[in-house]
Amino acid sequence: MRPTQAILRPLTERILTGSGVRYARNINAGGIQKRSILSLKDHVYFSKATAEGPGRHGFVKSFGDAPLDLKMDMPKTAGGKGDGQNPEQLFAMGYASCFLGALQLAAARANKKDLAENAKVTANVFLGHPLEPDIDGFGLRAEIMVEGCPDDAIIAEAHEFCPYSRALEHGAEVTITKA
């Protein structure tokens, strides 16, 4: 699969609402269709990463307790050489790890800690073209597979608690500024 040439739409087709961007296609006769945005009242952790070089073929570095410096590249199936990591891999790793932590916390809160002690979470993240023709470029789809925890209520609670699940389900505040 080769990526298609993206067609950039002018900003006039977008509506700024709050600190996010909504495409004009969300307007209907009754007004703007609203999607909730999860806002933070404080933060308990801050992470910073910087990307440099030729976009998805460049380099990314995170800062903090355990800095990470990676060479990035598009997957071979998306037109790259595949000789580096890609954002989808990193997203899948973060989502799987976060969901596992949420699963174990949900089990502990339900006094069923042993149900999730040996659980395993796999996150599949798909990069592809959006089905909706008005959206250019790529989109993501995520699938979470939980092994070793048979309790559906605990899995559902983990999905409600996991910050990755919340961001995908409820949206997240995104602020873009120029330095």
Between CA 153 and CA 130 the distance in angstroms is 31
CB 115 within 8 A of CB 107: yes
pLDDT one-digit tens code per residue, 71-92: 999 989 888 899 999 999 999 9
Number of folded domains that form the chain: 1
pTM assigned to the model: 0.76
Between CA 11 and CA 19 the distance in angstroms is 15
The beta strands (E) that lie in the chain are given as 14-17, 20-23, 27-28, 31-32, 48-52, 59-63, 68-71, 120-128, 139-147
- Is residue 92 in a domain? yes
Question: Is pLDDT at 29 greater than 50 in this prediction?
Answer: no
Q: What is the DSSP letter of 5?
A: P
- Is residue 79 in a domain? no
Q: Which domain holds residue 124?
A: 11-40+86-170
Q: Which residues contact 6 (CB under 8 A, 6 or more apart)?
A: 136, 137
pLDDT one-digit tens code per residue, 53-65: 998 899 999 998 9
Closest CA to 60 of 48, 45, 46: 48
CATH for 122: 3.30.300.20
- Is residue 23 in a domain? yes
- Is residue 179 in a domain? no
Q: Which residues contact 26 (CB under 8 A, 6 or more apart)?
A: 15, 32, 33
Backbone angles phi, psi at 123, to 5 degrees: -110, 125
- Is residue 176 in a domain? no
Q: How confident is the model at residue 21 (pLDDT cuts 50, 70, 90)?
A: very low
Between CA 66 and CA 81 the distance in angstroms is 28
Q: What is the DSSP letter of 22?
A: E
- Is residue 120 in a domain? yes
- Is residue 4 in a domain? no
**Tokens representing residue 70 in the block:** 């990676």
- Is residue 47 in a domain? no
**Tokens representing residue 110 in the block:** 């339900």
